[in-house]
Amino acid sequence: MKELPEEIKVTYILALIIMMSFVGFIIMIVVMYNRKQLLYLKEKQLKESEYQNQLLQKELEKQKLIEKERERISHDMHDDLGAGISALKLQAEFLKQRAEDEELKNDIEELLKTSEEMNLSMREMLWSLNSGNDTLGGFIDYAKIYAQNFLKKTNIQLMVEDENVISETVISTEQRRNLFLCLKEALNNAYKHSKSSQIKLSFAQKDKEFIMKISDNGIGIGTNNQEGNGLRNMKRRMKEQNGHCEFTTENGTHLFFNISL
């Protein structure tokens, strides 16, 4: 076989070198472009991260301001309103001792009851405002104390149990407040209508779900009362917190409240 002339060989070699150089140049451009894109993406992620951190910082500052305002309102209520209610009670007690007319004494007694109810309502509001109570443990402790005080002058026995509850688990102020208002409504309904001798409070936590159950051994809810204002209010409150309120009437009344934490 005839060998190619030397000039053609050189031409082929030069062409091959040029092609390899061109391919190398293309590869180098692609690598540099990819590096530039990678740097751009990293810078973009960094800026996004910084932006998210700024938003988080602003949100934290906003929450701190809200908590500070709540504490201020709480202190003002305790100092001003609390002192006013105490002074009103003392004045009413003084007038009751001096009064001779029985009708006037009865009116003063009603005034004392009203002032005591106002005092209890103020304590509940102070508890709601205190951000230090935004835990499941804080809610359950207050719920127990409230139920005990509510039922102590009745013949109804109170039982309390909790299951797998992590006391430090955070619960929002709105969730805590609405759960407590549902508890108040349920206890009040049981006391007025159930004719029960026993009420049981149960609290349970399953991962990110919190369940409160209030049961009595009374006569149950009649067909005409199953959608009364009390139940509608409790269902509405739970719905506003993305939770649920359900009830059964087998062997008494059993109310279930569950929320996602």
pLDDT category of residue 30 using cuts at 50, 70 and 90: confident
Determine contact, residues 163/205, Cβ cutoff 8 Å. Answer: yes
Query: What integer pLDDT is reported at residue 55 of this predicted model?
Result: 86
Mean pLDDT of the residues in the chain:
84
Q: How many of the other CB atoms lie within 10 Å of CB of 139?
A: 25
Query: What integer pLDDT is reported at residue 166 of this predicted model?
Result: 92
The pLDDT of residue 126 is above 70: yes
Q: What is the pLDDT of residues 130-171, one digit of tens each?
A: 777 889 999 999 999 999 999 988 899 999 999 999 999 999
Residue 245: is it exposed, middle or buried by C-beta count within 10 angstroms (0-12/13-18/19+)? Answer: buried
- Of 101 and 136, the one with more pLDDT: 136
Q: What is the pLDDT of residues 193-237, one digit of tens each?
A: 888 999 999 999 998 899 999 999 998 776 555 566 678 889 999
What sign does the CA torsion over 77, 79, 80, 85 have?
Answer: positive
Share above pLDDT 90 across residues of the chain, in percent, rounded to a whole number: 31
Determine how β-strand 157-163 pairs with β-strand 198-206.
parallel
Query: What integer pLDDT is reported at residue 2 of this predicted model?
Result: 52
233 vs 239: CA distance, rounded Å = 10
The pLDDT of residue 4 is above 60: no
The pLDDT of residue 258 is above 90: yes
170 vs 204: CA distance, rounded Å = 14
Determine contact, residues 121/82, Cβ cutoff 8 Å. Answer: no
- Of 95 and 256, the one with more pLDDT: 256
- Of 98 and 73, the one with more pLDDT: 98
Q: What is the pLDDT of residues 65-83, one digit of tens each?
A: 777 777 777 676 666 777 7
Please give the distance of CA 37 from its chain centroid, rounded to a whole number: 44
- Of 157 and 128, the one with more pLDDT: 157
Rounded to a whole number of angstroms, the distance between the first and last alpha carbons of the chain is: 87
Q: How many of the other CB atoms lie within 10 Å of CB of 36?
A: 10
255 vs 24: CA distance, rounded Å = 75
